[in-house]
Structure 1
């Protein structure tokens, strides 16, 4: 199991991982009211390169807008996001590829089931880039759980609370002796894995479900068809 590296950006500064905590009465804990993005950072000697950082920042901004978090974009410019990411990467000095998880948490206490105008805290941490599924072939099953439809919880926003859906699907696959599962949408069409977009090679062409299929419009997914990426 991957663990966070020792230094975490939390709020507006670097802290020890064990000190980056949220209260039990915050909306992030009570309702899963946080949005996030994850991206790899490649390490080549002293050079560290983040993958499509602007796209990941924009996904955070868009995820916030979609679910009504209206205090992030005005407080966090892209330049601030880059600097915070650089600070936490430099502080941990990784020697191999890592993933960076950046999250916007609604950390107001007991505000009820609402979101606009509430205080947020940003966290950014690193963890080792271990594959989430076997890389030499994996066993999949069709999930007994259907993918949450986009008109219930928007799939294009990476909302922490929505990942209960993925946990249910992944755990069922593991309990059944498989590595992961294939989600179907409410119409029975293939949409994605428990926490990843799915691709097929058909007649030598890479294909993937359409963005209207209750999927995350993943940044990796966009990259395969974007020669300028």
Structure 2
């Protein structure tokens, strides 16, 4: 079954561990973002790995190519499953990011490089008026996906709504990592382009990223199991 990563959007390791322990979510794949990583540093990665969690390190690097390359050499040593960058950083930055990952990796592990296309908190109006990117949002997402693949990325972060088209353009092995996943009864919060797990399964998503629909649920374990059921079986209920 394709992978589902649970976003650990907590301020520190203490709250993170309490949540995982209380809800018996040991060993589930997790996403570590800026908030938790900047507080705890690489230590939190080691603590999670000790408890058999696969890890998506969500730092969205976006800097000059040499800086990103050097950062990636260090990140590679953490041996996480995935790390991401912004496709908006350009071709050289993506290439150097991959170079850094390869240079810092051991022979036994290779971290996947994932490029962020357009954030799922953004809609077409914002993209056009604030980023001054013309055209339809979906077309821009697909362009960035194709551009990222050509420069060495293993996949992209996109919304479920663009995943099938990205697969058509970039091939079935190019990974589509899709946040904005919600159960039917969940609040969309600040995400604009959201979808259910069933819709994601039917529309080309390889990897789901789930957050508040689980972490803010009355019963997080039950919400997680429901997502896995829908993701695994394509149930629309």
TM-score, normalized by the shorter chain, greater than 0.5: no
Asked which structure has the greater CA Rg, the reply is 1
TM-score by length of 2: 0.27
Instruction: Give me the TM-score of the superposition, normalised by structure 1.
Output: 0.27
Query: Which has the larger strand fraction?
Result: 1
User: Comparing both chains, which one has the higher relative contact order based on Cα–Cα distances under 8 Å and sequence gaps of 6 or more?
Assistant: 1
